[in-house]
Structure formats: C-alpha cells, structure tokens
C-alpha cells in the first residue's frame, strides 16, 4: 500500500510555473491550488509517495 507525504506551498503569481516545476522535479505531484489569505496569493497542495 502506498503511503503519501504532503506539502503546502505558497505560490507567487509571477513565478507559479517555476515554483511548480521545481517541486515537480523533486517528485511532488500537484493536488490542488486554493486562494491564499491575500488577494494575489495562492497556496498549492502537493503529494508524493513516502519513501520507506
């Protein structure tokens, strides 16, 4: 059975692709993006299989 680890990452609107590409290169998969506390802020939720 696969177990997962999760991360929440603040996204900068002007650098969203670069941030997600960096996390993706580390094996993280984007689950969702939700609005953050400010009008121009976003928060990404990511997951990846946990290493045993």
Q: What is the pLDDT of residue 13?
A: 85
The parts of the chain modelled with pLDDT lower than 70 are: none
Any idea which residue has 């969203």 for tokens? 16
Q: What is the pLDDT of residue 40?
A: 82
Q: What is the pLDDT of residue 38?
A: 84
Q: Are strands 29-35 and 4-12 parallel, antiparallel or unpaired?
A: unpaired
Q: What is the pLDDT of residue 23?
A: 98
Residues 6+ apart with CB under 8 A from 8: 43, 44, 45, 46
């Amino acid at each position: 059975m696969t177990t997962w680890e999760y991360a929440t990452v603040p996204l900068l609107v002007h650098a969203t692709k670069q941030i997600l590409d960096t996390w993706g290169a580390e094996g993280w998969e984007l689950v969702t993006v939700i609005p953050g506390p400010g009008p121009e802020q976003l928060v990404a939720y990511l997951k990846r299989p946990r290493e045993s």
